[in-house]
Amino acid sequence: MRALTHADKFLCPHGGPITPKETGAKVTINGQQVLLIKELLGATVGCPAGSGRCNKVRKVANPANFRTKIKVGGKPKQPVMQGATVMTDRGRAMVIPVPGRLSWRLGPAPSYETPGPSVQCIPEKKKKDAVANGLAPGVYLAGRKVKGVPATHQFLLLVPSESSKVDGPESFGKTKGLTLGACRSNRDDCPEHEQGNLVGVENQQNDKAAAKEWLSSEQRGGSHWDASLCHVDVPDGKTVDQFMEDVLRAFEHYQQNVKNAPIEYPLAGGLVARLVEGRCFNSNSWTHGILNVARGESLPDKATDLNGLDLCFDHSIPPYYFRDNQQRIANAKERRTFKPTGSKAAEKLVETAQYLVKTVEGDPAIQNKVEVVLEDLRVILLGGDPTLGSEPLNPDYLRDVRRFTLALNAGAVGVNGESNPIESCLAGLIWGFYAEGFAWLLTDAVVLTYEGKSHPLLFLAASALGKGLAEDPATLRDLPQRLGNIMTSLTR
C-alpha cells in the first residue's frame, strides 16, 4: 500500500478534476509531495455537470486496516493511501494513480468504481418466504464459504421469469435458474484452460450446492456453506429478463476475451497480492466486473461486500473483458505478423516502430505499453518466440525472471562483434529500459561492457532511449523518430 501524492489525479463522478488544498505541510516521497487527508477534505471540484454538480470533497476515508500517521512539522498527520474512499457532495470520486517509472512496478490498479445501484441482501426473516415460494425473478449476488479456507467466494444466481428462457436451468428447491461464477481452471469442475487462469463457469458444483442449501427447507447438520443471497437492482428502463440477457452476453464475451488475455489466478486466492501489491483480481472481482458492465454503471465498493473474508471484491475486473472485443483481439493477433516494406535497416526499424506504437497505444487492454512495443519489435525484426505479453492484472513474479533474462540477453548482444545494426539498436533499447530495475547487476561485468561490440555507439545511444522510456513512458510516441535519428547518424 502506498501513499498518494499531489501528482495523482482525482475526478468527481461527472469527470471533473478535484484540486487538493495547499497547506504548506510538505513531505515528499521520491520527489512527489505526499497528499494529506486535510488537504483533500473540502477541496474544490471543477465539475462539468449543470444541476446536481459536485462542489466539495465531503469525505476521505483510508482503508480500514490503515491507521499510520506521519510527522509533518513535528505533528502527526494522516496521508491519503491507495484504496481510500473519496466522496464529493454528489457521490464517489475516482482515483487515477500516476504510473510509476516502470509500468510493472505499479501499485494499485485504476479504479472503475463510481456511484451505482444498491444490492439488497435478503434477511433471515424473508428467507422462509423465498424457500416456501421460490425467489422472485432477478439477478442475485451470492456468497459462500471456500472449502478448507477461511474465505468467501462470490457468484451470481440468475432466476428468469420463465425457466425456458435460460439453457440448462437447475432446480434450487422451488426456484429454477442457473449460477454463474469464476474459478481457477483445471480444478474440480472448472473448465479446462491454461493452468491456473481465472475462467467463467456455469452451474459450478459448489456454487449450486450453496444456492440449494440456502433455498432448501432442510439443512441437515447445520449450514455447510454459510451462504448469503442479495438481490441486485434491475437497471432503469429494462426488464428482469433483459438484464439477465445482458449478464449472459457479458459472460460469453469474458469467456472469449480471457482466452486471448488470460488472468492468472492469484496466489492464496489474492491474499498475497493484496498485501504485497495492494491489488488483486479473483472470482469476487469477476462478479463485481460483470455486474458493472451488465448494468451499464458501476457498483459502489461496499455494495458487494458480503459476509466473511471476500478478498478482492473491491477490485473489479476491467470492463473490456466483458465486452465484444473481437476487433481488438484480431488486431493483437495481427500485430506480430507485420512486415516492413523498407529496404534499409533504419527504414525497417522506424516503419515497424511507427506501426507498433500506433497499435499498442490504441489498445486499452495493454497496461505495459512500452514493454509490449519493445517485445514486438524484437519478435518482428529479429524473430524468435515472444516472452512477454500484456501486463497481467494479478502480479506474476515469474515475469520478473523473464524480464531479467531479457535484460541479460540484451546486454550480451554483440560482445563478440556479431550483430547487425537493428539487433544492436534493439538490444540497447531493451537493456536501457530494464537495466536500472536490476541495478544489483555488476555493471562492469564483461557481458555488459561496450567493448568488443560491433556497434558500441548505437547500443549506447539506444540504451539512453530505453532508460528515458522507463523514466517517462509517455515518450513512447516519440520513439520512432528518435530511433530513426540514431540509426541514420550512427550507421552511415
CA 402 to chain centre: 20
For residue 354, pLDDT over 90 is answered with yes
**Poorest-pLDDT segment among 1-5, 202-206, 314-318, 482-486:** 1-5
What is the arithmetic mean of pLDDT over 403-407? 83
% residues pLDDT > 70 (the chain): 71
The H or E element spanning position 172 is strand 170-172
Mean pLDDT across 59-69: 68
Mean pLDDT of the chain: 76
Nearest to 199 by CA among 179, 213, 184, 187: 184
Note the pLDDT tens digit of each residue in 66-75. 556 666 666 7
Please tell me what DSSP assigns to residue 358: H
CA 130 vs. chain centroid, Å, equals 37
The model's confidence at residue 106, banded by pLDDT at 50, 70 and 90, is very low
Instruction: Name the one residue in this structure whose C-alpha cell is 435460460.
Output: 166
Contact 279, 330 (CB under 8 A): no
- Predicted pLDDT at 348: 92
Count CB-CB contacts under 10 A for residue 480: 20
What is the mean predicted confidence (pLDDT) over 209-219? 79
pLDDT bin (cut points 50, 70, 90) of residue 487 is very high
Least confident range from 410-419, 433-442, 472-481: namely 433-442
Tens of pLDDT, residues 156-201: 999 988 765 555 577 887 888 899 998 877 665 666 655 568 888 8
pLDDT (0 to 100) of residue 224? 76
Q: Give residue 276's pLDDT band: very low, low, confident or very high (50, 70, 90).
A: very low
C-alpha 412/C-alpha 99 separation (Å) is: 30
Distances (CA, A) of 259 to 185, 198, 360: 12, 10, 19
Q: 3-state class of 54 per DSSP?
A: coil
- Over range 124-146, report the average pLDDT: 83
What are φ and ψ of residue 78, in 5° steps? -100, 120
Tell the residue number behind the cell numbers 489474492, with chain if given. 270
Residue 423 confidence (pLDDT): 92
Q: Which residue has the higher pLDDT, 272 or 103?
A: 272
Residue 351's pLDDT band (cuts 50, 70, 90): very high
Each residue of 220-256: pLDDT tens digit? 555 677 888 888 888 888 888 899 999 999 999 988 8
* Percent of all residues in the chain with a pLDDT value above 90, rounded to a whole number: 12
C-beta separation of 278 from 107 below 8 A: yes
Q: What is the pLDDT of residues 446-467, one digit of tens each?
A: 345 556 678 888 888 998 899 8
**Comparing 321 with 123, which gets the higher pLDDT?**
321
Q: Specify the pTM.
A: 0.55
Asked if 409 contacts 382 with a C-beta cutoff of 8 angstroms, the reply is no
Q: How far apart are CA 425 and CA 427, in angstroms?
A: 5
Please report, for the chain, the start and end positions of each structural domain, with discontinuous segments joined by +: 9-98, 119-322, 326-490
**Closest Cα to residue 343, out of 422, 424, 234?**
422
Q: What is the pLDDT of residues 18-44, one digit of tens each?
A: 999 887 766 766 567 888 888 999 999
